[in-house]
Chain A
Amino acid sequence: MPKEQIEEYLETIYDIAGLKGKAKTTEIAERLKNAPASVTEVLQRMNRDGLVKYEPYQGASLTKKGENIVIRIKRKHRLLEVFLDKVLHLPREHIHNQACKMEHVINDETEQALCKTLGVPTKCPHGLPIPPCNINLKSCDECLSEDNPIHDERKQKLISITTLKPGKKGKIAFIRGGRHVVQRLCDLGLTNGTSVSLVREAPLKGPIEICVRGCKIVIGRGIAEKIFIQIEET
């Protein structure tokens, strides 16, 4: 099965159901403009390859492996959108379709170079977050300051602290953002490797409250989205 097709399927499932939910076969078929029968066939094959978990009549959900591919593709897609918008100044309505095609062909080196050239963007032109790369670095400064080739890939997936469920814990992996904000958070005890838990979040994308080193700290959504953590395995 071609890589492009697999990636398109994974993305569609993600768009419909997110990281955890189930996407119905009919919905997938509708989005991809394919016949439900052939969609079922592809899903079954992907199930065998461990990319999705497919249950007949219920739909398909992403596995860990599938999830990693999707996040990677979304990153490439959104980076490309920024590039097409900010650098090439293409009309907004064209960039999504272009990025959809290009995302499947660029390699990791191009992805890293794009990220650096664009000044480490955090959101695509439509306002959706760009997931962090999985290069094994502690901060973006490191990547920007050196002309490094690709680093070893991170062992574990990183997520933004805002995607944690209340009461859940993680370890700070890195904080994206200006020197000032990073230093401020560091002064309050959010140094790399520190264990943090999400206490609660305010409605409508309001701030979050976290617990770190026995203290409660409130952080605005914009800043919190740039704090990336590693889930602690217990």
Chain B
Amino acid sequence: MQKPDLTIALAGNANVGKSVIFNQLTGLGQIIGNWPGKTVEKAEGLLVHHGKNIKVIDLPGIYSLSTYSQEELVSREYIALGHPEVVVNVIDATALERNLFFTLQLIEMEAPLVLAINLADIAKKKGININYNLLGEILGLPVVPTIATKGIGVHEIVDEALKIATNKMVIGKSKIRYGPEIEKCIKTLEQLLSVKKIGYPLRWTAIKLLEEDVEIQRIVEDIAPDVVKKAKDLSKEIEKIHKEPCATVISSERYATAARIVSEVQTYEQPHKPSRGELLDAISMHSFWGYIVLFLLMLAILGFISFFGGWLTESIENLFEQFNPNILGFWPELAWNGAVIGFYASLAVALGFILPFYIILGVLEDSGYLPKVAYLMDRPCHTMGLHGKAVMPLLVALGCNVPACAGCRILETDRDRFIALVLSTLVPCSARTVVILGLVGAFIGVEWAFALYIFDFLLIFLIGRTLNKILPGASVGIIMEMPPYRTPSVNVVLKQAWVRFKPFLLTAIPLIILGSVIVEAMRLTSTLSTISDFLSPLTVVWLGLPAFTGFLFIFGILRKEAALVLLITVAGTTDISSVMSPLQMVVFTLVIMIYVPCVATIAAMIRETGWKRALEITVFEIGLAILIGGVAFRLLNPFL
């Protein structure tokens, strides 16, 4: 990769559209959605604009440059010490005051700023009119109104950024002035700090010391312990005058400045009727109907995918079976039963189950429904030692467990993150949905598939409760911004689904075809039984399953949906009922559902909690699956 000519970083509150702008600029597929916290790591991409190579950095959304959360620390360190040539502060035009509170802090950090006022169209619809020129004049910064989802204004941002980077435009420095007593303290500290080398801007460091910011105190402590002490004394004095902690006083004054600016540049006309969003809120967040809507929605999604996936699998099989040459012999059988069946079965699974699931998940995410679920489920989550925000990674886990593991970082404490991580790996992801709906749903009945889902959710609930009891400490409460509903954009939803679906096409399908060929080869050479016999005490005796499932379980660690495809290979037809009884299907699916997260999820767990914890979770889940499978085999015998 060429060395970039300059770097621009996108910073701002959560859920204002930074990732949308990032995707527009770089053409990359950073996951986006209408819920605060989906970007937990900074992402990088390249853009060529007027012959210049520009590196674009997408930072996680934050509300302040304090150190309440990991993301705030990450973003702050990057802005101050990563030295991006330009910081683009993306602002939600519908919440100007709160967004400017953050802008004022960026100005204090002396970041070279461009303001992108996003969601300009939605603000207008809400009756909010902003005088962009005046705002730019007051702040002394270039201001660009944008509608990121339509790409409007996005390239103007880069034009302005280039002007700043090439010094064609001088940024006026308008600093907020605090009350005289605070300004005096800042001056004193600035003077004391001016002889030291800190790396952060002086005035900003002084303010942070007065706010008693632990991270900055730690840094300055090494160089100038006396200054930290002095700052503590000064902030005590301010506390005495205002009868509030100094940090709160400073925040209040920042907000007062933000409010004053807003009153100058913004006019507001109350729309005549309550917006559609308010109406939807009233239903979807209702104390009773909210839960009914949630339940019916889940039911409808599973019902639809079950029906659609079943229909498509059958159609694709019929299509391919017309060409079945029906030749016997090692090579033709290997080619047809291994490669061709492996191919069309995985294609059916991909198009019938996984893709529609990703599209539906995209619609839910983009519409802003996820935070509503977090609100509804906050109370139930508390019995599992979590708060409502945990619901968002858990819902993402329905698509795939891997991003859910990283998504758990939106929770505030280690304890919460660990519990949520364990629970996310138990959520039936789209790959498990394939097995549940494609096997149990298709051959026994949708009601049995639903029963398995309900069982899994109960299991998650119980494990959550147990972890809450075992682990020391208690959960903190939820504090979360509630974004309004937005009409999902077809473009964004499809693109999003494609981003998630692509790795499946490129890596999973070849892997499954390979597995399918191996299984067929082993079946033809009668070696399949060697491996399977080794596991037969477990599979045959304890779980009551056919011996060949042993191999499927092992291969299923790579990809869980592979278990179904390979089952089709073993059966030689999509009619699996020829090799398994209904009871065996249920037990098999139960074990697949619980036994171990796939390799990709294990890798994600290692990244989040380290080897030891990841291993513990994996071993625990294998044991649990075997236990539950065996018990189910004995208990369900009379019913199936």
Please state if B95 and A179 are interface contacts (CB–CB under 8 Å): no
Please state if B95 and A213 are interface contacts (CB–CB under 8 Å): yes
> CA of A180 to CA of B211 in the docked complex: distance in angstroms?
12
Q: Judge if B507 is at the interface, Cβ distance under 8 Å.
A: no
Please state if B252 and A139 are interface contacts (CB–CB under 8 Å): no
Tell me the B171-210 residues at the A interface (CB within 8 Å).
Answer: none
Q: Across the interface, which residues of A come within 8 angstroms of B479, CB to CB?
A: 181, 184-185, 188, 217-220, 223
Q: Across the interface, which residues of A come within 8 angstroms of B63, CB to CB?
A: 187-188
Please state if B255 and A191 are interface contacts (CB–CB under 8 Å): yes
Residue from A146, A204, A216, A218 with most neighbouring chain B CB atoms (10 Å): A218
Closest chain-A Cβ to B385's Cβ sits at a distance in Å of 13
Please state if B376 and A182 are interface contacts (CB–CB under 8 Å): no
Chain A proximity mask over B78-102: 1 for CB below 8 Å, otherwise 0 = 0000000000000000111110010
Q: Judge if A5 is at the interface, Cβ distance under 8 Å.
A: no
Please state if A209 and B101 are interface contacts (CB–CB under 8 Å): no
Tell me the A177-225 residues at the B interface (CB within 8 Å).
Answer: 179-189, 191-194, 200-207, 209, 213-224
Q: Across the interface, which residues of B come within 8 angstroms of A216, CB to CB?
A: 481-484
- Among the 9-residue stretches B238-246, B516-524, B543-551, B578-586, the one with 4 or more Cβ atoms under 8 Å from chain A is B238-246
Q: Judge if A97 is at the interface, Cβ distance under 8 Å.
A: no
Interface size class of A (residues with CB under 8 A): 35 or more
Q: Judge if A20 is at the interface, Cβ distance under 8 Å.
A: no
Q: Judge if A145 is at the interface, Cβ distance under 8 Å.
A: yes
Closest to B478 in A: A220
Known contacts A219-B477, A220-B387, A220-B477; is-contact A186 B252 (Cβ 8 Å): yes
> CA of A204 to CA of B378 in the docked complex: distance in angstroms?
10
Closest chain-A Cβ to B253's Cβ sits at a distance in Å of 9
Q: Judge if A15 is at the interface, Cβ distance under 8 Å.
A: no
- Residue of A139, A187, A213, A221 near B477 (CB, 8 A) is A221
> CA of A179 to CA of B66 in the docked complex: distance in angstroms?
12
Q: Judge if A137 is at the interface, Cβ distance under 8 Å.
A: yes
Chain A proximity mask over B235-269: 1 for CB below 8 Å, otherwise 0 = 01001101111011001100100010000000000
Interface size class of B (residues with CB under 8 A): 35 or more
- Residue of A185, A187, A204 near B379 (CB, 8 A) is A204
Q: Across the interface, which residues of B come within 8 angstroms of A213, CB to CB?
A: 95, 97-98, 255, 259
Q: Judge if B630 is at the interface, Cβ distance under 8 Å.
A: no
Tell me the A33-52 residues at the B interface (CB within 8 Å).
Answer: none
Please state if B243 and A205 are interface contacts (CB–CB under 8 Å): no
Q: Across the interface, which residues of B come within 8 angstroms of A183, CB to CB?
A: 66, 68, 245, 247-248, 251
Q: Across the interface, which residues of B come within 8 angstroms of A220, CB to CB?
A: 378, 387-388, 476-479
> CA of A224 to CA of B388 in the docked complex: distance in angstroms?
15
Closest chain-B Cβ to A43's Cβ sits at a distance in Å of 37
Q: Judge if B371 is at the interface, Cβ distance under 8 Å.
A: yes
Please state if A139 and B243 are interface contacts (CB–CB under 8 Å): yes
Q: Across the interface, which residues of A come within 8 angstroms of B248, CB to CB?
A: 139, 182-183, 186, 191-192
Q: Judge if A165 is at the interface, Cβ distance under 8 Å.
A: no
Closest to A222 in B: B477
> CA of A222 to CA of B388 in the docked complex: distance in angstroms?
13
- Residue of A138, A179, A181, A215 near B481 (CB, 8 A) is A215
Chain A proximity mask over B292-336: 1 for CB below 8 Å, otherwise 0 = 000000000000000000000000000000000000000000000
Q: Judge if A141 is at the interface, Cβ distance under 8 Å.
A: yes
Closest chain-A Cβ to B108's Cβ sits at a distance in Å of 14
Closest chain-B Cβ to A162's Cβ sits at a distance in Å of 12
> CA of A188 to CA of B96 in the docked complex: distance in angstroms?
12
- Residue of A138, A146, A203 near B242 (CB, 8 A) is A138
Q: Judge if A142 is at the interface, Cβ distance under 8 Å.
A: yes
Please state if A192 and B378 are interface contacts (CB–CB under 8 Å): no
Pull 24 A–B residue pairs with CB atoms less than 8 Å apart, ordered by A: A139-B245, A139-B248, A141-B244, A142-B243, A145-B236, A146-B240, A181-B477, A183-B251, A186-B247, A186-B248, A187-B64, A189-B97, A193-B252, A202-B376, A206-B376, A207-B477, A213-B255, A216-B482, A217-B481, A219-B477, A219-B479, A220-B478, A220-B479, A223-B479
Partner-B contacts on A (CB < 8 A): 137-139, 141-142, 145-146, 179-189, 191-194, 200-207, 209, 213-224
Closest 7 CB pairs of A and B: A220-B477, A206-B379, A187-B64, A216-B482, A191-B252, A223-B477, A220-B478
Known A142-B244, A207-B375; further 7 A-B contacts with Cβ < 8 A: A188-B63, A191-B252, A202-B375, A203-B288, A217-B480, A218-B378, A220-B478
